[in-house]
Amino acid sequence: METARKIRERKGYLEMENKEILFLTPVFKEMVWGGNRMGEEFHYALSSDHIGECWGISAHPHGDCEVREGAFKGKKLSELWKEEPGLFGHYEAEGFPLLIKIIDAKQDLSIQVHPNDAYAKEKEKGSLGKTECWYVLDCEEGSSLVIGHNAGSREQMKEMIEKGQWQEFLRQLPIHKGDFIQIDPGTVHAIKGGLLILETQQSSDITYRLYDYGRMVDGKPRQLHLEKSMDVITVPAKDVSSSVKGTLGLPADTRNALEANQYYTVWKIKVEKGCAFAQDYPFMNMSVVEGEGTVNGQKIKKGDHFVLPCGFGEVELQGEMCLIASAAGKVG
């Protein structure tokens, strides 16, 4: 919890104006299941045809984005977080708390599950757990995701996993472009081949792999984490219908909140005629996922990721584009 002193300090910073937009250079990750859509559709210069992830906004040690231009050009996001806490409204967290990724799944990702904060703290050297959510940027007709499972008890879950009854155990769900899916810790999940996704998540890289379809990487199977997976899987699984939202019918030129929990609030903003709103949070992340336009007069296009700092004030978006935005914590 934030102390009263911190909140006062933050309010002080909120009153300071800061119009510097922190444009970030993404970090790319080669993955066995990755493809080349990020090069083709987002015009990133890629070094491989198996790029699975683009870390667009991240200060995680496994992929720390650098500021692309402006007063802080060349600084890592993790450095700014430490050296310029005012930019982030003195937000109380050890490091930049969120990580925004684009995922290009040419093939199925492994079946996995993430721990919550308490479990990760105890078993993963104090790391954070991982709560994440997905916005489906694109998918093939008839695509599906794995979300949840069909076991009714922990005993049944263990039996199904130990016997490898994946067909019966895993719950598959049809998915469409524009769907939004919230994945709580303990939820068995897998992104399937053919999906392009924007992920907003806690800044954590702790994943327990439950099943990898028997795939070999460099002649060896990737490591599985069965014990830890079985420790953290929620049984029975949460009702699927409550965790998937279609967003294509949402109104344009306004912020549509897709999710708000203790870790993040996520919005979809589809700009057609233009819109304006106040950035009065400690900071706000934005990723342009379609089209192009301007933010307060500065040109932005599909594939740009940036942070609006504390005290940014009025945000003006013009053009024809779609953005996914987020703030840390549950905000109004």
Per-residue 3-state assignment (H helix, E strand, C coil) for 123-154: HCCCCCCCCEEEEEEEECCCCEEEEEECCCCH
**Spatial distance between the Cα atoms of 118 and 279, rounded to a whole number of angstroms:** 31
Longest dimension (CA), the chain: 60
End-to-end CA distance of the chain: 18
User: Pairing state of beta strands 244-246 and 98-105?
Assistant: unpaired
Query: Active-site positions?
Result: 209
Q: Which residues does residue 216 pair with via DSSP β-bridges, in sequence order? A: 221
**Spatial distance between the Cα atoms of 287 and 102, rounded to a whole number of angstroms:** 10
DSSP characters over 246-288: E-TTSPSSSEEEEEE-SSEEEEEEEESS-EEEEE-SS-EEEEE
**Spatial distance between the Cα atoms of 331 and 31, rounded to a whole number of angstroms:** 34
DSSP alpha helix (H) spans, the chain: 4-15, 37-42, 77-83, 117-123, 154-162, 166-169, 226-232
Scored b (16 or more CB within 10 A) or e, 138-177 reads bbeeebebbbbbebeeeebbeebbeeeeeeebbbebebeb
CB 102 within 8 A of CB 53: yes
